[in-house]
Chain A
Amino acid sequence: MSLRVRDLRSGYRQGEVLHGVDLDVDRGRALALLGRNGAGKSTLLLTLMGLVRPTGGSVRLDGRELAGARTDQIARAGVALVPQGRRIWPTVTVREHLVLANRRGGGGRAWTIDGVLDLFPGLAVRRRHVGWQLSGGEQQMLAMARSLLTGPSVILLDEPSEGLAPAAVDQVASAVRTVIDGGVAVLLVEHDLHLAFAVADSVAVLARGAVVHQVDTAAFRRDPDTAHRLLGVAT
């Protein structure tokens, strides 16, 4: 068991968004979090990272309670975020991104700067460029490399394929699989169901701030009626 979320509640000034989320992600496994727009997927990832304060419930990583901790403490405990929109630092070079993130966290496999540059060779040639000079695909690679260098046991990935060309999506998918095989637990929010099914072992559907359905990816794909009812899309 790695990440264990129970009855997690959080929201913003305007009101509660998550009304008691339960889910588990094991090391070396990936859970795809699906749901319509506004279901609370991004809020869930931000809450797990401590960037939105939980108002109730529990987040345990290998038994250690993280709900209510500061973001930097959560990161050092072994949770990393690849946020929606990548949020790389526009005035910081690729090399400096990697140096700043390097070995701040703990718990997971110790990635090195050379290791992540092997995983994302495109970044190596852009070492001296600052964030705003990178393409969308390169920014995504950098956001993933930054999260890996913190040494996470859990990675929260929010829409990694958003706005990327198909070749870059393939590269993201293969990198995510490498990360999972390295023993990291992955929680993936993704609109591209091909990518989600390609990397996730199981699927959880979030609706109105709670998990309403959780099954193996294979079972989810065998049951298109349920998928269509929950997501409003054909799978």
Chain B
Amino acid sequence: MANWVDIGVIAVLNGLAIGLLLFVVAVGLSLVFGMMDVLNLAHGAVFVAGAYVAWWVVGGSPTWTGWLAALGVALAVGALAGGGLLLMTGPLARRSHLEQALLTLGVALVVAELLSLAFGEDVRSVSPPPGLGGTVSVLGNAYPAYRLLLIALGAGLAVAAHVVVERTPLGALVRATVADRDMVAAVGIDARLVRAGVFVVGSMLATTAGVLGSPIYSPRPGLDSTILILALVVVVIGGLGSVRGALVAALLIGQIESTGRALLSDLASFLLFGSLAIVLALRPRGLFAGAIGGQH
């Protein structure tokens, strides 16, 4: 019996860490899709680029300086990637989702191939910052210290994103642009700047998540599509353009992923897509789509 409880505590903590990381990845994807109608299938590749930055800068000999440098480089890479994708998808703004998906999927494949060429085909493990490589005791269970830091950082980022989007004038502008960008332009605001800002910040969050997640999700070929699929499931379940929806969905998917793997490892993917199917059957526009309204 005690064994089940121990598995439970560890699975819940793992789910929390994965869920918060997924939120940081997915919130940018959700806002970009909700606001610009651009389905950015290169978002997973942007995350992986951040993870490779961590391996390249930190590698197997971690220092705090190295970790901070990796975060700095990843933010710059994220800004460049966001800017580049923005320029590429701009001309397709009024075209179909299929055309945008083909373009960004092509970008994702090219980036993934370039990353493989640059960093090789091997799984690259990244060590946590000094002092966080060991375990601490949580309710009598040994638990990796770095994952607790990840939970704290992820929670901090989630709270910050929520406060900025839901409680500030800048966030009101983002919500208004998600709901009806034409009316944002009609009050004299250049909506292109809002869209560019969200695209770039969303990509910077993805590379940041890539660095923070690299000790758990070791960078390797194929990780980009794993992360992209998880993020897309979060966006679909949470509802497009909803920060609160993305948070709830990410925490839910985190728990399904980790508890599923701990208890029924053969059925983990089934649980993930089964829950997606249930949400789509009951609430086709996502759990929080009601708050977005039916403007489109």
Find out whether the CB atom of A70 lies under 8 angstroms from the CB atom of B190.
Answer: yes
- State which of B64-72, B169-177, B257-265 sits at the interface with chain A: B169-177
Main secondary structure of the interface of B (DSSP, over half): helix
CA distance A44 to B179 in the complex (A): 23
Find out whether the CB atom of B187 lies under 8 angstroms from the CB atom of A75.
Answer: yes
Find out whether the CB atom of B176 lies under 8 angstroms from the CB atom of A100.
Answer: yes
Find out whether the CB atom of B187 lies under 8 angstroms from the CB atom of A150.
Answer: yes
CB proximity of B292 to chain A, nearest CB, Å? 6
Does any Cβ of A come within 8 Å of B226's Cβ? no
Chain A 104-132 interface mask (CB, 8 Å, partner B; 1/0): 11000000000000000000000000011
Q: A91-B178, A92-B176 are in contact. Are A100 and B191 (CB under 8 A)?
A: no
Q: How many A-B residue pairs have CB under 8 A?
A: 81
Find out whether the CB atom of B175 lies under 8 angstroms from the CB atom of A89.
Answer: yes
CB proximity of A31 to chain B, nearest CB, Å? 20
Q: List chain A residues, Cβ under 8 A from B183.
A: 83, 87-89
CA distance A89 to B172 in the complex (A): 9
Chain A 125-145 interface mask (CB, 8 Å, partner B; 1/0): 000000110000000000000
Q: A87-B295, A89-B176, A100-B176 are in contact. Are A51 and B189 (CB under 8 A)?
A: no
CB proximity of B126 to chain A, nearest CB, Å? 38
Find out whether the CB atom of B186 lies under 8 angstroms from the CB atom of A51.
Answer: yes
Find out whether the CB atom of A72 lies under 8 angstroms from the CB atom of B190.
Answer: yes
Find out whether the CB atom of A90 lies under 8 angstroms from the CB atom of B291.
Answer: yes
Q: List chain B residues, Cβ under 8 A from A99.
A: 169, 172
Does any Cβ of A come within 8 Å of B293's Cβ? yes
Q: A91-B291, A104-B189, A150-B188 are in contact. Are A71 and B175 (CB under 8 A)?
A: no
CA distance A88 to B180 in the complex (A): 8
CB proximity of B161 to chain A, nearest CB, Å? 15
CA distance A139 to B188 in the complex (A): 20
Find out whether the CB atom of A91 lies under 8 angstroms from the CB atom of B179.
Answer: yes
Does any Cβ of A come within 8 Å of B185's Cβ? yes
Contact of A76 among B180, B188, B191, B292 (CB under 8 A): B188
Contact of A92 among B172, B188, B190 (CB under 8 A): B172
CB proximity of A115 to chain B, nearest CB, Å? 16
Q: List chain B residues, Cβ under 8 A from A132.
A: 291, 293
Does any Cβ of B come within 8 Å of A39's Cβ? no
Find out whether the CB atom of A146 lies under 8 angstroms from the CB atom of B185.
Answer: no
Nearest residue, chain B, Cβ from A81: B186
Nearest residue, chain A, Cβ from B242: A91
Does any Cβ of A come within 8 Å of B99's Cβ? no
Find out whether the CB atom of A100 lies under 8 angstroms from the CB atom of B295.
Answer: no
CB proximity of A16 to chain B, nearest CB, Å? 19
Find out whether the CB atom of A91 lies under 8 angstroms from the CB atom of B292.
Answer: yes
Does any Cβ of A come within 8 Å of B182's Cβ? yes
Q: List chain A residues, Cβ under 8 A from B292.
A: 90-91
Does any Cβ of B come within 8 Å of A202's Cβ? no
Does any Cβ of B come within 8 Å of A58's Cβ? no
CB proximity of B5 to chain A, nearest CB, Å? 41
Find out whether the CB atom of B176 lies under 8 angstroms from the CB atom of A71.
Answer: no
CB proximity of A76 to chain B, nearest CB, Å? 4
21 contacts between A and B (CB under 8 A): A51-B182, A70-B190, A72-B186, A75-B185, A76-B188, A87-B182, A88-B183, A89-B175, A90-B291, A90-B292, A90-B293, A90-B295, A96-B176, A97-B176, A99-B169, A99-B172, A100-B187, A100-B189, A104-B188, A104-B189, A132-B291
- Residue ranges of A at the interface with B (Cβ–Cβ < 8 Å): 49-51, 70-72, 75-76, 80-81, 83, 87-93, 96-97, 99-101, 104-105, 131-132, 146-147, 149-150
